[in-house]
Amino acid sequence: MSLLRVQGLFKAFAAIRAVDSVSFEVRPGEIYGLLGPNGAGKTTTISMISGLLKPDAGEVIVASTPFWSDPQKAKRIMGVVPQELAIYEELTGRENLEFWGAMAGLSSGEARSRTTELLEALTLTDRAKDAVKTYSGGMKRRINLGCALLHRPKLLLLDEPTVGIDPQARLNILEFIRNLRASGTAILYTTHYLEEAELLCQRIGIIDHGRLLAEGSLKELQDRLGGDRLFVLEAELKETSPDSWDGFRQRFRVIQKTERQLVVSAIGPRDPSECLKDLLGLPVRVENVMLKRPSLNDVFLQLTGRELRE
C-alpha cells in the first residue's frame, strides 16, 4: 500500500498549466524526489497534496483515503515543511516547537518531551532558549523542519528544505532526513538540486513545465539513456546535424549537442570499442572522445533539452 498516491493532478493559473496530469506514489520507507527547475510545479503539487490548494482535477489519496473525504485524517498522517520559513522569529526554538505541538493536539507535557527529543535530533539543544531571529539560516531551516514533526507523521512533505543555506548546513539537514527515513518515515522531497536527488532518493520523478516526464530509481533513469556509459565527442560541430550522417541515427541517440561537443548514447547493447570506432569514423574532425557514466543531469538534458545545474 502506498502512503500517498496522486492521480492525474491538474492545476492551472490562467493560461499557465502549473501542474498538468501528474501521477505518482510514495511508498512506505522511501524518499521520493520530485526534481525540477524553478517554476516546474513542485510547490503547487505539494500545496495540493497538503490541502492548501484544491486541484482543478485529479485526486490525492493518503493511506487509501481520498484527501478531501477526510482532511483531518490526512493531516494526522502527514507533516508539511513549506519552502518559506513558517517560524516565529521572536520566539525561542523551544517555544516554536512547543507551539506546533499544541497546534497538533499534543498535551503540554507531550509537546514538551517531544520538543526536547526533536531539539536533540536537530542538534539545537544548546540554542533552544535563544530567539530564532538569532539563528543561522541552517538552524532556522532545521527548526522549520522540526515544526512539522511534533505529531510523528508517517509521511513528510518537504519543499526544497535546503534552499539558500551553506554546504555544511545542507549536509546536516540531509543527514537528519536520512535518519527520519531509517526510523520509518516516508518522504516526498522536492528539489532542484540534482545531487540531492541522487544522494537521497530511492525513486525520482522528473518534473518540468508541470508535467512528470519520467520516474524511477537513479539506475532506471540512467538506463533510459542506454546503459551505463555515454560518449562525449569534442569536435568542430557548428551547423552539422548528426542525425543526417549516414547510419548515425540507427546507432546513437543524441543527448546534447553544442558547437564543440556532442554527447551520445549507444542504441542497443553494443561493444564500446565498436562504438568508438563508429564515432571516430564520423564525417567531422574528432579531437577527443571520452566515456562517462550518465548522470541525472544527462537524463534531464535528454528529456528537456536543457541543463539542470546547481
Whichever of 84 and 243 has its CB closer to ligand ATP, that residue is: 84
- Rounded Cα distance, 24 and 299, in Å: 19
One-letter amino acid of 205? G
Residues 158-187 that bind ligand ATP (CB under 6 A): 160
Distance of CA 2 to the CA centre of its chain: 18
Write down the least CB distance from residue 149 to ligand ATP, Å. 22
Whichever of 193 and 231 has its CB closer to ligand ATP, that residue is: 193
Residue 191 in the binding site for ligand ATP (CB under 6 A):
no
Do residues 95 and 146 make contact, with C-beta atoms less than 8 angstroms apart? no
Query: Which listed range, 36-44, 56-64, 120-128, 195-203, lies at the site for ligand ATP (CB under 6 A)?
Result: 36-44
Query: Which listed range, 37-45, 143-151, 266-274, 295-303, lies at the site for ligand ATP (CB under 6 A)?
Result: 37-45
Nearest to 200 by CA among 33, 21, 28, 15: 33
Residue 68 in the binding site for ligand ATP (CB under 6 A):
no
CA distances from 281 to 238, 245, 247, 291, 299 (A): 18, 11, 11, 17, 26
Residue 43 in the binding site for ligand ATP (CB under 6 A):
yes
Write down the least CB distance from residue 164 to ligand ATP, Å. 12
Residue 225 in the binding site for ligand ATP (CB under 6 A):
no
- Rounded Cα distance, 15 and 139, in Å: 39
Q: Among 1, 15, 38, 288, indicate the residue that binds ligand ATP (CB under 6 A).
A: 38
Q: Edge to edge, what strands does the sheet with 286-292 contain?
A: 252-257, 261-266, 230-235, 286-292
Q: Which three cell numbers stand for residue 38?
A: 524553478
Residue 40 in the binding site for ligand ATP (CB under 6 A):
yes
Residues 12-31 that bind ligand ATP (CB under 6 A): 13, 16, 18
- Rounded Cα distance, 198 and 31, in Å: 11
Query: Which listed range, 1-9, 32-40, 59-67, 97-105, lies at the site for ligand ATP (CB under 6 A)?
Result: 32-40
Tell me which residues touch ligand ATP (CB under 6 A): 13, 16, 18, 36, 38-44, 160
